[in-house]
Amino acid sequence: MGGPTVATNLLAAQYIQGLADDALVYAQRLGEWVSRAPQIEEDMALANIGLDLLGQARALLTRVGELDGSGRSEDDLAYLRDEREFRNVHLLEQEVAGFGFEMARLLWFASYQWELYAGLRTSVDEVVAGVAAKALKEVTYHRDHATQWVLRLGDGTAESHERMQQALVDVEPYVTELFDDDPASVAAAESGVGVLPSSLEDAVRARVSAVVEEATVALPESARWRSRGGRDGVHSRPMGYLLAEMQHIARSNPGAQW
């Protein structure tokens, strides 16, 4: 028998870090909406969704620090890693680009996270299973929120319809990366820690397609290009600025407690 080997734990840590970084980076982006959303209720909604994601990220990052043997805390991992060490997908690091774009991004990501966490409830890693069972309930609200807005904007005025349609086109190049099977997720699926990203794709696309159709807009046939590399730490231009904003206080005051 024996426990999991060091190599197995490292791969599991990498996989969980991808989940954690997705949540952390999107929490940071959503925070930018506070005071800038179309209405004050929406400021609160997007901040609340970000807060849920931040909570998920904290628990998962703590687990990463335990599994990878480095002994790093959630704060060490959030504030002291450089860009190449972050494993989030490009979708979530993209700059805030209007409310329609945000709702398109949230619809895709929440639909993805919903299927992901539903599958991770039976993870052999107790922390991952616990986070997933809890987060699934939260993500149900996130997905519903995005759904309500996509319906309202898509099936709204001529102007809102056109802008919602354009937002779906703008988000499309970043969608496929969510379902790429990188080596860490293949290993995690084999060990029972994780689920294979590609196995989620059909359910997520079916869900988003149903909402989009009901909203009288359409998904583009296919994107003209697609993002890749996030799970390997290769990021797009906005990522460095996001990290600078997120990390500068902690890095300017080494060892500070708050």
Name the CA dihedral angle for 141, 56, 80, 15, rounded to a multiple of 10 degrees: -110
> What x-and-dash track marks residues 121-160 binding other proteins by CB under 8 A?
-----xx-xxx-xxxxxx-xx-xxx-xx--xx--------
> What x-and-dash track marks residues 195-224 binding other proteins by CB under 8 A?
---------------xx--x----------
Amino acid at 180: D
Contacts of 203 (CB under 8 A, 6+ apart): 115
Cα separation, 107 vs 5, in Å, equals 38
Q: How many residues touch other proteins (CB under 8 A)?
A: 39
Nearer to other proteins by Cβ, of 13 and 57: the residue is 57
Contacts of 187 (CB under 8 A, 6+ apart): 8, 11, 12, 15
Considering the complex, what minimum distance in angstroms separates the CB of residue 136 from other proteins? 6
| Torsional class of 182: left (φ above 0), alpha (ψ -120 to 50), beta (otherwise) | beta
Site residues (CB under 8 A) for other proteins, limited to 8-47: 41-42, 44-45, 47
Considering the complex, what minimum distance in angstroms separates the CB of residue 228 from other proteins? 29
Give Cα separations from 91 to 112, 176, 177, 236 (angstroms).
12, 10, 8, 10
Binding-site member from 53, 61, 171, 187 for other proteins (CB under 8 A): 53
Name the CA dihedral angle for 114, 18, 229, 226, rounded to a multiple of 10 degrees: 10
> What x-and-dash track marks residues 96-125 binding other proteins by CB under 8 A?
----------------------x-------
Considering the complex, what minimum distance in angstroms separates the CB of residue 75 from other proteins? 13
In the complex, the residues that contact other proteins under the rule CB under 8 A are 41-42, 44-45, 47-49, 51-56, 58-59, 118, 126-127, 129-131, 133-138, 140-141, 143-145, 147-148, 151-152, 210-211, 214
